Amino acid sequence: MKIDVHTHINSTDPEQLENFVKTCEKSETIACICSAGPRSDHEYPANDATLKAAKQYPEFLIPFAFVDLWDKIDADVIDKFAEQGFKGLKCITPYYPYDHDLYMPVYEKAEKLKLPVLFHTGAFRPSKKDAVTRRPLLKNMNPLNLDRIARSFPDLKIIMAHLGTTFFRKEASELIKLHPNLYADLAGNGSWMAIQPAELASWLGSCIMEVDSTFAGFKKLLLGSDAYFTAPGIMLDAQKYYELLLRRIGVPRDIIDDIMGKTASGWLF
Ligand SMILES: [Zn+2]
């Protein structure tokens, strides 16, 4: 089975849920599903809907809880998520940068409870909600904000969604190579389609060797599609692009298998 660490529940319609699960079944994929909270550009159901869907299809869906990193947060909410059965956390649209002091207890709990955290990084489309919240989203969700978190919580598994997007590719790649507990997916808005094999090879290669036959940097990638319940085909597109991209670069089969699910499976099962 493959594991797609980054998909979104954006509907509570039972037919759409069933259709999404059928795509998982057909492609032999387990999907980590999460809401993206109340301040994203689309409407998402709340965490209880994520849990309900995952409990209905436990073979194919793994629930991640959206954590509302706002101007106040009680870290005990993370214990509650773990008790409820969530297997990971999703962070996006924080009030402060991800590495603010206020959020450190949240990550400390996640590390103790062995809950991987998926952080949105990079591009975020402007929306009407921005004028209400007045928060700087690109700055708050710059991959560099994950440096402090990775250093402070070495046993926390961190997934940098979108590898920083086109805004921060180089920094994002250096960061995942630097921190053993920091990983990335190539998901989002077709941005993985924009990545050329030679570029990815140079970002994730060794800065010393011209030809990095260890492919060590590639061990820090995970399959993540950013698919939606209403658009499950994105899951299939992502898998196709990951495969072609990685094969074109010459990444060995065993590392591709790690990326497509084996690495994440070690954290989630
Ligand atoms: Zn996403």
Cα-to-centroid distance, 164 and ligand 1 (Å): 12
CB-based contact 235:29 (threshold 8 Å): yes
- List pLDDT tens digits, range 146-193: 999 999 999 999 999 999 999 999 999 999 999 999 999 999 756 667
- List pLDDT tens digits, range 234-245: 999 999 999 999
Tally: H helices and E strands in the chain: 13, 9
Cα-to-centroid distance, 65 and ligand 1 (Å): 13
Entry pTM: 0.97
The CB density around residue 26, as the number of other CB atoms within 10 Å, is 11
Give the domains, in start order, of the chain with CATH numbers: 2-268 (3.20.20.140)
Long-range CB pairs of 202-210, under 8 A, 24+ apart, other chains included: 203/169, 203/170, 203/173, 204/173, 204/176, 204/177
Cα-to-centroid distance, 187 and ligand 1 (Å): 7
Cα-to-centroid distance, 213 and ligand 1 (Å): 32
Cα-to-centroid distance, 28 and ligand 1 (Å): 21
Cα-to-centroid distance, 246 and ligand 1 (Å): 22
- List pLDDT tens digits, range 59-92: 999 999 999 999 999 999 999 999 999 999 999 9
Looking at residue 194, its pLDDT comes to 78
Cα-to-centroid distance, 188 and ligand 1 (Å): 7
